[in-house]
Structure 1
Amino acid sequence: MQKGIFLAIVFFFFQSLIPLFAVQKLSPLAPSPDWSRLDQFQETITRDEFVQLINTLYSPSGSFWRYTIINGNEVTIYSDTEHNELLYRLRLAPDPESQVPLKANWVSNIKTKGEEPIETKPLKGLIICLDPGHIGGKWAKMEERFFQIGSDPPVIEAELNMNVCKRAAKLLEDAGAKVVWTKKDYEPVTELRPANLRKDAIALLFPFENQDNLPYRFSDEIEKKISLTAERLFYRNAEIRARAELVDRLRPDITICVHFNADKWSEHPTREELVPKSKLVVFVNGNYSEEELVFDDQKWDMLYKLLSRTALPELEISEAVAKEMEVVWNFPPETYTNWSAAYKVGKSPYIFARNLLANRIYHSPVVFIEGPYMNSVDSYDRIIAGDYDGNKNINGKSVKSIFVEYAEIITQGVISWATSKQGIVVQE
């Protein structure tokens, strides 16, 4: 009888563990998250702050709460909205006095380090990672980040982003920062290629099919879809994930993702199709949608960003950079009135929360900048003029290189933020 009771207890014990070992729902190419990595954040945040960050930044739609139960000062996170598949339990501090201090994460009000005066080296002690967007080179057309109007020089966004980063690196280093990079050339960081991602592409296109029963070859139409999907997984996903691994090793205090924006254009654009005026935006991490929070890795990513307190420095630096963009370029902000993926946050009209892969999985405060439109009247001729020192006459105006201006905007924004408070954000 006692043996039977013991076996019953063992059975129910292991039954209770099944949800913990359930197969997690993962985004394409995402590794299965290690939930124990969140243990370092136990009782490091109060319930009030946690709820406030969820409601105003990370899940303003309320979607995250569908996967949780808050009981007193404990949040229980589930994989499913029925609350059957347990993922993690997070203990919250009941009040600020009992809050456990953060250990190796981003905190404010740390004095600037270094022997040189802050006036000459305002970024001394700061590690800044530059992330020039896209791959470029022979991959530019695949990435759909290439266009050419007639016999004008081609516009390749990766090259524009790299020009800005090279200029910014020099300015940031002159201001005392240590600059590190996710990439410095036009080759992928990831070792994967589209051919390696065929199975992943098929699984995405046929998610409800038994993969073992699918044919080796499909119709020409489906094969084309598989090829395009594998390419997108390569440059939109595998590449960013490989860069994220670098960011984790480099441990920067800030990561700055540099991009140029664009409006829609035709397959064979003409000057007549250039849009009249650029619009500007800077993204911070947040606004996780219901469709995104289905995936358990995105729940984990969101919680890591929230609990490591990247939100405040991201917002502060983004607003400082946006202010410089407005002063120098005077372009209007994006509005996104009919696009739910972007959510207005902060004081600046230029700042939106968006759940981009880079600003989600780069483990540092991330400032994701979209510069002027590549296909706008106000920027196109300056872009195809290339980079240069000094001023050049373009359309009757003597102007700096647009890449120099962009780099100066980034640098001055970071300096303005760093010198507007007692200290700067650093990692211990």
Structure 2
Amino acid sequence: MSAFLRWLSLVGSVVVLALLPFSSRAELSPLAPEPDWGALDAFQETMTREEFVHWINTLFSPDGSFWKFTVINGNEVTLFGDKEHTRLLCRLRLAPDLESQNPLRATMVSAWKLSKAGATNAKPLRGLVVCLDPGHIGGPWAKMEGRYFRIGSDPPVLEAELNMRAARHAAKLLESEGATVVWTKRLFEPVTALRPASLREEALAVLYPVGSAATMPASFSPELERSIVREEEVLFYRNAEIRARAELVAKLHPDLTLCIHFNADKWSSKPTRAELIPQSRLVAFVHGDYSEEELMYDDQKWDLLFKLFSRTSIPEAEAAESIAKQMAATWNYPPENYANWSAARRVGPSPYVFARNLLANRIYRGPVVFVEGPYMNAQDAYDRIIAGDYEGTRIIGGQPYRSIFAEYGEILARGVTAWVGGPTSAVVHH
């Protein structure tokens, strides 16, 4: 269907595209689909102006970037694709007050928390669907992802394997509390059917965007070819893979998704123990804090509005705060400090919870908490990590320690149980 015919098909809808010259085009993030602006029609008059402005200013766009693309007139929000307001994207009506607000189908997690259908003291999570998303692909893809390092003859550290171990412990405990656990992946293989070599056209579009000053050369030098191949790889594991997992999450309809990761500082091509950083830091991310650069993309504007009107922010924040509390109590590491980094902003009472516009947080449906565990290359965690998973305790550095992966799983399970108001005493190690 041509762009003009697509325009005709939308005329008469509440969401109206502007009739502009064909040179005016949508700006999309790499591999992002065209936004379905009509889908936002379900949110007409489901939120008051006061609530809308509050969430934009405190969570989604605290630096005010969103308002550069938006006009709010009375109870109507008009969103544009550009800061000059020449390319209309959609209009949304806000409710004048709470009494006249249209009912919004509660998010699944909110509905579950209100009813707790089937939940008991013995099984406080019965009926709750938790999706576990162990970060990264791993296996033969780990080095490409930059999630692999090895110090001398020590066992190699592959983050995807660490994430999976923690997720398996969490799954066992969550299921013992009655939750239904679903997964975005169980193997060290890509979820996406795409491969780096199939993304050459998209890689070239990133390196030589339409309308930029960069001119694509007639032929590519070996150095430039390596840059193209690297861009193909990044699009594969950092973008296509996450989008494929998002499609699974949309089909699984979880009440909560946990993105499970270990953190790290930079390491050299041949790391040594002397390069290990002194101390881990901890963080849990919720969705928000869009930058002006990110909001130049139409799909990210759509994602912001969908997340905002879906009201996933409150359960995300509650779950993140609960998990962060368990992290601090178990590991006693300090929180991350992003004072000089605008891409992450602290939100809520916990010093461990930050808003960040990560792809997974943005495009996974429903509430999502992105958890970063200890640093893989920190002195306080490295020896425990290379010790692997085990039962009971082992002496590491002269001290007895349980498996760091079992502890991580308990943190997640206890955090979720506390969040829904169930007893956490049952979610302990044996």
TM superposition score normalised by structure 1: 0.92
* 2-structure distance, mates of 1:327, 1:60: 30
Which amino acid is 2:85 matched to? H
The aligned counterpart of 1:399 is: 401
The aligned counterpart of 2:169 is: 167
- Taking CA–CA contacts closer than 8 Å with sequence separation of 6 or more, which of the two structures ends up with the larger relative contact order? 1
Which amino acid is 1:282 matched to? A
The aligned counterpart of 2:282 is: 280
* Count of aligned pairs between the two proteins: 407
Unaligned regions of 5+ residues in structure 2, if any? Answer: 1-7, 424-430
The aligned counterpart of 1:5 is: none
Question: In the alignment, is the contact (CA less than 8 A) between 1:19 and 1:87 conserved in 2?
Answer: no
Question: In the alignment, is the contact (CA less than 8 A) between 1:125 and 1:176 conserved in 2?
Answer: yes
Question: In the alignment, is the contact (CA less than 8 A) between 1:127 and 1:180 conserved in 2?
Answer: yes
CA change 1:335–1:290 in 2 (3 A) is same
* 2-structure distance, mates of 1:299, 1:20: 22
- Stretches of 4+ aligned residues off by more than 4 angstroms: 13-17, 19-22, 213-217
The aligned counterpart of 1:183 is: 185
2:258 to 244, 256, 259: 256
Once the two structures are superposed, residues 152-171 of structure 1 have per-residue CA deviations (whole angstroms, 9 ceiling, x without a partner) of 00000000000011111110
Residue 61 of structure 2 corresponds to residue 36 of structure 1? no
Shift in Å at residue 252 of structure 1?
0.5
Which amino acid is 1:405 matched to? E
The aligned counterpart of 1:386 is: 388
Residue 114 of structure 2 corresponds to residue 110 of structure 1? yes
The aligned counterpart of 2:427 is: none
* 2-structure distance, mates of 1:402, 1:186: 21
Question: In the alignment, is the contact (CA less than 8 A) between 1:248 and 1:362 conserved in 2?
Answer: yes
Once the two structures are superposed, residues 362-408 of structure 1 have per-residue CA deviations (whole angstroms, 9 ceiling, x without a partner) of 01100000000000111000000111111111111111100000000
Comparing 200-209 and 258-267, the one that deviates more: 200-209
Residue 344 of structure 2 corresponds to residue 342 of structure 1? yes
* 1-structure distance, mates of 2:415, 2:233: 35
Comparing 103-112 and 148-157, the one that deviates more: 103-112
Q: Percent of counterpart pairs with the same letter?
A: 62
Which amino acid is 2:140 matched to? K
Once the two structures are superposed, residues 297-355 of structure 1 have per-residue CA deviations (whole angstroms, 9 ceiling, x without a partner) of 00000111100001000000000000000000000000111111001100000011000
Unaligned regions of 5+ residues in structure 1, if any? Answer: 1-9, 422-428
Residue 114 of structure 2 corresponds to residue 85 of structure 1? no
* 2-structure distance, mates of 1:420, 1:54: 32
The aligned counterpart of 1:417 is: 419
1:305 to 304, 307, 311: 307
Once the two structures are superposed, residues 85-114 of structure 1 have per-residue CA deviations (whole angstroms, 9 ceiling, x without a partner) of 110111101111111111263436512111
1:134 to 125, 133, 136: 136
* 2-structure distance, mates of 1:97, 1:337: 41
Q: Secondary structure at the match of 2:62?
A: coil
Question: In the alignment, is the contact (CA less than 8 A) between 1:287 and 1:341 conserved in 2?
Answer: yes
Question: In the alignment, is the contact (CA less than 8 A) between 2:18 and 2:87 conserved in 1?
Answer: no
Shift in Å at residue 216 of structure 1?
6.7
CA change 1:20–1:378 in 2 (3 A) is farther
The aligned counterpart of 2:244 is: 242
Once the two structures are superposed, residues 5-49 of structure 1 have per-residue CA deviations (whole angstroms, 9 ceiling, x without a partner) of xxxxx9xx9998424985311000000010111111111111000
Which amino acid is 1:18 matched to? L
The aligned counterpart of 2:97 is: 95
* 2-structure distance, mates of 1:111, 1:99: 23
Question: In the alignment, is the contact (CA less than 8 A) between 2:125 and 2:422 conserved in 1?
Answer: no
Once the two structures are superposed, residues 212-270 of structure 1 have per-residue CA deviations (whole angstroms, 9 ceiling, x without a partner) of x9567411111010000010000000000000000001010100000000012211110
Question: In the alignment, is the contact (CA less than 8 A) between 1:20 and 1:86 conserved in 2?
Answer: no
**What is the CA RMSD across the aligned residues, in angstroms?**
2.1
Q: Secondary structure at the match of 2:262?
A: strand
The aligned counterpart of 1:122 is: 124
Question: In the alignment, is the contact (CA less than 8 A) between 1:148 and 1:269 conserved in 2?
Answer: yes
Question: In the alignment, is the contact (CA less than 8 A) between 1:20 and 1:87 conserved in 2?
Answer: no
